[in-house]
Structure 1
């Protein structure tokens, strides 16, 4: 009798699972900030179709026009850059940066005004390059397509 009951329960359980749609689990990617005790990768870690490659050793950072390192790119050496509206070269980049890739050991700070003024946000890359889609992270979304000047330094 016990064997029959177990068989019925197993069959009932099997038919219940197969009768409905397959179960799906949506695990969101992290913002790139370090989270203690997690194994979920960041959104820009390369596991989610990011086009971001390593930042060359002679640069401090590289910035891009589109998310996930798409569109145009601009190499950022150590130092300061201003994207003034009247500059025939730099105005193209003014208020158009969506992704920032910072080389390991470097610190990037973007400002929403020229001459390193206004609202700012700093991205630190410690032991490995860090790729940040500005519009996808709370700490940086105010600078998405708003950067008018920046500074970048490396250890």
Structure 2
């Protein structure tokens, strides 16, 4: 079932995503009408239906999957090679521990203590009281507790993660 869903997702992605997301870098995707989307999907269908019988056979779907996988594999290989070259500081074809550590860098906090205090300190006295500290997590709890019974079930928590 999972394989079937992945195949369907690959076909749908190949059919729909390029049509919607074809905006130059840095620009928002252009809007698309349902008629334009339908035309785009039909065009992709036509490209997959290589024998032009109006149906997609297992063989045609398999050929498209192979093409998509090959393109993804080629792109991933190029990405891996580029990342390796960034790590290989002396360009000798191997990465030393020192080069790796240099590329990875040091662990840093994502926010400064001042930023944390500013975000949580609602009364702006420069320190965080227990009530202020509690506010964000309790608001999230209340949001996830859909039936408002004061108990967060695994189902509610899982639904909130989606």
The normalised TM-score by structure 2 is 0.15
Larger Rg: 2
The answer to which structure, 1 or 2, has the higher relative contact order (CA under 8 A, 6+ apart) is 1
The normalised TM-score by structure 1 is 0.16
Q: Between Structure 1 and Structure 2, which shows a larger proportion of helix residues?
A: 2
Q: Between Structure 1 and Structure 2, which shows a larger proportion of strand residues?
A: 1
